[in-house]
């Protein structure tokens, strides 16, 4: 029920709105549906503050201006998206993350490469941060000094708008980041804070001495323990300590101050009206801090995300939200919302648990830890989706629970040590080439850097010029991608992986990057090399064709839409990951062998299809396979996978 006061706020603002009645009715409906929750969430967070009423009214003004500034083209696109059930869960979507400069050059150069993207079959692009960020202190663009100015390294706002229009005309989708948790220390707000303006010091967490920082740091983990230990930085210009959870040049915004929310909503609406289809909220786990806690994933961080979701949904209902929380399997589910906010907080989250347990399985030839983890991952609510990925621009954290490892019959400490050794060159039997990232001797934690191909063994295989090892590494990387493509969620390829890009060690010669080995897996695309993709006998050609095939198979089968239609199976062989995807008229059985030995699968797995024999189509090889009796077994080779559909 809409509260009378909110109704009068609505009437007042609707009067001044121009545009079609049809669109306005939609807005009205969404306002009526959401505004009481908006008010309650807002009051929970800010109601006790003297300026809360004034700022609430400002938030509503912003919401309506965002709507009136939204183009008819985008409003029509919103309407089309809403006609579908969960447009963002569709099997038609496949994404790619890329750095504009390292992939192509400037924004117009990306536009020239859209045919390459289409040739691959990708129709959703995550452009890595491209708003202004100091070149010497940018954290790959995640330290923003101006949220509305495109960094001149990439071009300008017009170029971005042009690219967006081109993409939409080709039926493509766009994802951009909002770096909500912090700004660069060169952002205007930080500069004003440094100059002593109290208003802007209140935008950040500033303390006159170490007493509170010391108390807080006691409970706060370190994100970059090697390159940026601690969580506070002394700023001599203002003689204060500022909270800087990531690098010292990334100052944490203080969302306890509602002015910060208003200021950041302004940026969010700006991105919405640029035509962003999926907004990636960077580091949402960190957006609310309380003394005496880890300052991560706090209840108010979730409330704030729910509030942002609703504030976006009213004027821009076609913009989905991805919460980039890289947290454990139980914690990640909270980002999809709980109770009455179930499926009404973040539409997407990164499936970091699946990703990490895939790397676990690849190193051990054993999927039992993954199976344990999937019991939790599988609880994701209908109407939300995963971003599935084997690699991204960040490191691989082994962030699943110890009990999952124990339940798989292993010792958690020894097991994690083995994985870190396996991927960082410390284990002599491993073909993987990667490195430890964020190693913290205080708690023995470390994550892993390295490109998909190098971690799968391609770099070492090329060095030793071993054709069989080259083939094995290609099979491994295809296996890893296949799980991302078929298990439920939108696959997001990291640019370069579609060509089998190896680690690039040139970052070591650049002082602005050498302290951060994540740059080893952020390639600069060599387009001469990339042109080999048309020749299937080259590595680039083989890997590219495999990605094309994965995308095609996904698009051709409705069962791969993410509609709570993944059923995990437990086969006797621990080496095999298996699940069934279903739609109204189709069942697709997926089997992935993570080990270096041939395994056997009992034909009884097909019992759910009814009485056999069964003839199924294997989608990867496009061949029919006969299964005659539930008493029989069939072979699956090392690192092979089957995608078996009953629709032939
Ligand atoms: C996210 C980004 C990462 C960045 C961090 C700080 O985790 O993915 O690259 O370093 O946020 O903004």
Give the tens place of pLDDT for each residue, 582-592: 999 999 999 99
CA distances from 643 to 42, 304, 358, 483, 583 (A): 47, 41, 18, 10, 15
Mean pLDDT value across residues 381-405 = 98
Q: Is the pLDDT of residue 1 over 80?
A: no
Mean pLDDT value across residues 25-48 = 97
Q: Which of 223, 282, 335 to mutate to test the pocket of ligand 1 (most atoms within 8 A of CB)?
A: 282
Sign of CA dihedral 417, 423, 424, 425: positive
Distance from the alpha carbon of residue 424 to the mean position of ligand 1, in angstroms: 22
- Three-state SS string over 461-473 comes to HHHCCCHHHHHHH
Asked whether 394 lines ligand 1 (CB < 6 A), one says yes
Q: Grade residue 18 by pLDDT with cuts at 50, 70 and 90.
A: confident
Q: Residue of the nearest CA to atom 2 in ligand 1?
A: 282
Mean pLDDT value across residues 624-637 = 97
Please write the tens of the pLDDT for every residue from 86-144. Answer: 999 999 999 999 999 999 999 999 999 999 999 999 999 999 999 999 999 999 999 99
Is residue 612 within 8 A of residue 628, CB to CB? The reply is: yes
The catalytic residues are 282, 324
- Shortest-distance atom of ligand 1 to CA 181: 12
Asked whether 560 lines ligand 1 (CB < 6 A), one says no
CA 567 to chain CA centroid, Å, is 23
Please write the tens of the pLDDT for every residue from 546-587. Answer: 999 999 999 999 999 999 999 999 999 999 999 999 999 999
Mean pLDDT value across residues 532-536 = 98
Q: Residue of the nearest CA to atom 10 in ligand 1?
A: 139
How does 227-256 read in b/e, with b if 16+ C-beta sit within 10 Å?
Answer: bbeebbbebeebebbbbbbbbbbbbbbbbb
Task: Quote the CA–CA distance of 576 and 483 in Å, as a whole number.
Answer: 12
Distance from the alpha carbon of residue 303 to the mean position of ligand 1, in angstroms: 21
Asked whether 142 lines ligand 1 (CB < 6 A), one says yes
pLDDT of residue 330: 98
Mean pLDDT value across residues 197-218 = 98
Mean pLDDT value across residues 251-271 = 98
Distance from the alpha carbon of residue 81 to the mean position of ligand 1, in angstroms: 29
Q: Grade residue 72 by pLDDT with cuts at 50, 70 and 90.
A: very high
Percent of the chain with pLDDT over 90: 96
Is residue 595 within 8 A of residue 365, CB to CB? The reply is: yes
Q: Grade residue 442 by pLDDT with cuts at 50, 70 and 90.
A: confident
pLDDT of residue 211: 98
Asked whether 251 lines ligand 1 (CB < 6 A), one says no
Q: Is the pLDDT of residue 251 over 80?
A: yes
Q: Which of 130, 139, 144 to mutate to test the pocket of ligand 1 (most atoms within 8 A of CB)?
A: 139
Helix (H, G, I), strand (E, B) or coil at 4: helix
Mean confidence (pLDDT) of the chain? 97
Q: Is the peptide bond before 607 cis (omega within 30 degrees of 0)?
A: no
Asked whether 246 lines ligand 1 (CB < 6 A), one says yes
Task: Quote the CA–CA distance of 433 and 505 in Å, as a whole number.
Answer: 12
pLDDT of residue 19: 86
Q: Is the pLDDT of residue 539 over 90?
A: yes
Q: Residue of the nearest CA to atom 12 in ligand 1?
A: 142
Q: Residue of the nearest CA to atom 4 in ligand 1?
A: 142
Q: Which of 246, 297, 512, 522 to mutate to test the pocket of ligand 1 (most atoms within 8 A of CB)?
A: 246
**Which of 19-23, 512-516, 600-604, 623-627 shows the lowest mean pLDDT across its residues?**
19-23
Q: Is the pLDDT of residue 451 over 80?
A: yes
Distance from the alpha carbon of residue 395 to the mean position of ligand 1, in angstroms: 10
- Shortest-distance atom of ligand 1 to CA 393: 9
Task: Quote the CA–CA distance of 141 and 134 in Å, as a whole number.
Answer: 8
Please write the tens of the pLDDT for every residue from 132-186. Answer: 999 999 999 999 999 999 999 999 999 999 999 999 999 999 999 999 999 999 9
Distance from the alpha carbon of residue 89 to the mean position of ligand 1, in angstroms: 25
Asked whether 282 lines ligand 1 (CB < 6 A), one says yes
Q: Residue of the nearest CA to atom 3 in ligand 1?
A: 394
Distance from the alpha carbon of residue 391 to the mean position of ligand 1, in angstroms: 14
Asked whether 139 lines ligand 1 (CB < 6 A), one says yes
pLDDT of residue 188: 98
Distance from the alpha carbon of residue 521 to the mean position of ligand 1, in angstroms: 15
pLDDT of residue 92: 98
CA 67 to chain CA centroid, Å, is 27
Q: Is the pLDDT of residue 519 over 80?
A: yes
Mean pLDDT value across residues 273-299 = 98
Percent of the chain with pLDDT over 70: 100
Distance from the alpha carbon of residue 298 to the mean position of ligand 1, in angstroms: 19
Is residue 144 within 8 A of residue 187, CB to CB? The reply is: yes
Mean pLDDT value across residues 377-386 = 98
Q: Grade residue 612 by pLDDT with cuts at 50, 70 and 90.
A: confident
Q: Is the pLDDT of residue 514 over 90?
A: yes
């Amino acid at each position: 029920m809409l509260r009378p006061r909110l109704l009068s706020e609505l009437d007042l603002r609707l009067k001044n709105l121009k545009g079609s009645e049809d669109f306005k009715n939609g807005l009205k409906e969404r306002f009526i549906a959401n505004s009481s929750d908006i008010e309650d969430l807002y009051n929970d967070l800010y109601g006790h503050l003297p300026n809360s009423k004034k700022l609430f009214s400002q938030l509503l003004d912003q919401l309506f201006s965002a709507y009136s500034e939204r183009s008819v083209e985008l409003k029509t696109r919103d309407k089309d998206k809403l006609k579908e059930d969960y447009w963002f869960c569709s099997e038609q979507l496949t994404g790619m993350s890329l750095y504009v400069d390292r992939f192509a050059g400037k924004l117009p150069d990306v536009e020239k490469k859209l045919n390459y993207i289409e040739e691959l079959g990708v129709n959703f692009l995550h452009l890595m941060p491209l708003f202004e960020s100091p070149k010497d202190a940018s954290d790959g663009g995640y330290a923003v000094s101006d949220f509305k100015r495109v960094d001149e390294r990439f071009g300008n706002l017009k170029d971005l708008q042009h690219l967006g229009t081109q993409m939409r005309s080709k039926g493509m989708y766009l994802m951009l980041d909002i770096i909500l948790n912090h700004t660069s220390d060169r952002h205007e707000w930080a500069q004003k804070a440094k100059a002593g303006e109290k208003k802007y010091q209140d935008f950040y967490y500033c303390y006159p001495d170490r007493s509170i920082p010391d108390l807080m740091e006691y409970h706060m983990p370190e994100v970059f323990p090697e390159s940026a230990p601690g969580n506070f930085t002394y700023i001599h210009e203002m003689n204060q300590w500022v909270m800087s959870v990531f690098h010292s040049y990334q100052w944490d915004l203080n969302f306890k101050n509602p002015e910060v929310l208003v200021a950041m909503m302004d940026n969010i609406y700006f991105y919405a009206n640029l035509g962003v289809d999926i907004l990636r909220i960077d580091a949402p786990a960190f957006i609310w801090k309380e003394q005496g806690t880890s300052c991560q994933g706090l209840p108010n961080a979730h409330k704030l995300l729910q509030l942002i979701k609703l504030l976006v949904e009213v004027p821009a209902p076609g913009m989905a939200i991805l919460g980039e929380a890289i947290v454990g399997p139980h914690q990640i589910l909270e980002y999809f919302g709980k109770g009455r906010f179930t499926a009404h907080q973040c539409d997407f989250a990164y499936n970091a648990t699946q990703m990490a347990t895939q790397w676990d399985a690849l190193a051990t030839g054993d999927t039992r830890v993954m199976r344990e983890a999937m019991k939790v991952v599988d609880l994701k609510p209908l109407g939300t989706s995963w971003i599935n990925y084997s690699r991204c621009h960040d490191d691989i954290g082994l962030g699943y629970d110890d009990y999952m490892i124990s339940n798989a019959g292993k010792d958690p400490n020894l097991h994690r040590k083995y994985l870190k050794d396996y991927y960082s060159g410390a284990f002599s039997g491993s073909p993987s080439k990667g490195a430890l990232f964020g190693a913290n001797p205080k708690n023995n934690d470390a994550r892993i850097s390295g490109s998909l191909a190098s971690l799968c063994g391609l770099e070492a295989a090329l060095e030793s010029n071993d054709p069989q090892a080259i083939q094995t590494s290609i099979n491994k990387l295809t296996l890893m991608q296949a799980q991302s493509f078929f298990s439920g969620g939108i696959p997001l390829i990291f640019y370069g992986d579609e060509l089998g890009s190896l680690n690039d060690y040139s970052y070591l010669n650049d002082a602005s990057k050498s302290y951060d080995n994540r740059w080893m897996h952020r390639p600069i695309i060599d387009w001469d090399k990339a042109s080999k993709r048309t020749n299937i006998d080259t590595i680039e050609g083989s890997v590219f064709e495999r990605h094309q095939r994965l995308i095609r198979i996904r698009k051709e089968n409705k069962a791969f839409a993410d509609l709570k239609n993944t059923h995990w199976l437990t086969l006797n062989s621990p080496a095999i990951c298996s699940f069934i995807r279903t739609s109204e008229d189709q069942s697709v059985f997926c089997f992935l062998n993570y080990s270096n030995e041939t395994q056997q699968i009992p034909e009884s797995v097909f019992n759910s299809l009814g009485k056999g024999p069964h003839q199924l189509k294997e989608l990867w090889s496009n061949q029919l396979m006969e299964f005659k009796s539930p008493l029989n077994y069939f072979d699956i080779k090392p690192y092979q996978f089957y995608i078996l559909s009953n629709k032939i």
